[in-house]
Amino acid sequence: MPKIIEKNPKVLGGEPVLRGTRIPVARVVALVVHGYKIKDFKRDYPDFDISKKDLANIFTYYKNQIDQK
């Protein structure tokens, strides 16, 4: 699992989220698919620093989770 992602049964019932937040990985993927950019994340979540590499890791993780189902 990439460092940007964590699973904790006490946070959103164990759903994968961005580390240190309650932002679900699935929400990040959906936002990006609908045109959300890194600048939008920085505007809406100023305390959370996300990079292109982080987004690539999130998408890879998400794809792998979907493929396993």
- Residue 11 makes CB contacts below 8 A (sequence gap 6+) with 17, 22
| 37, amino acid identity | K
The per-residue pLDDT for 59 is: 95
Q: Please indicate, yes or no, if residue 67 is contained in any of the structural domains.
A: no
Q: What is the mean pLDDT of residues 40-52?
A: 91
Give the distance, in angstroms, between the CA of residue 21 and the centroid of all CA atoms in the same chain.
Answer: 10
- Of the candidates 12, 33, 40, the residue with the CA atom closest to the CA atom of residue 24: 12
Q: What is the CA radius of gyration of the chain?
A: 12
Which pLDDT band, with edges at 50, 70 and 90, does 68 fall under? confident
For residue 33, give the CATH number of its domain: 1.10.10.10
The rounded distance, in Å, linking the Cα atoms of 57 and 20 is: 16
What is the residue range of 42's domain?
Answer: 5-53
Domain count along the chain:
1
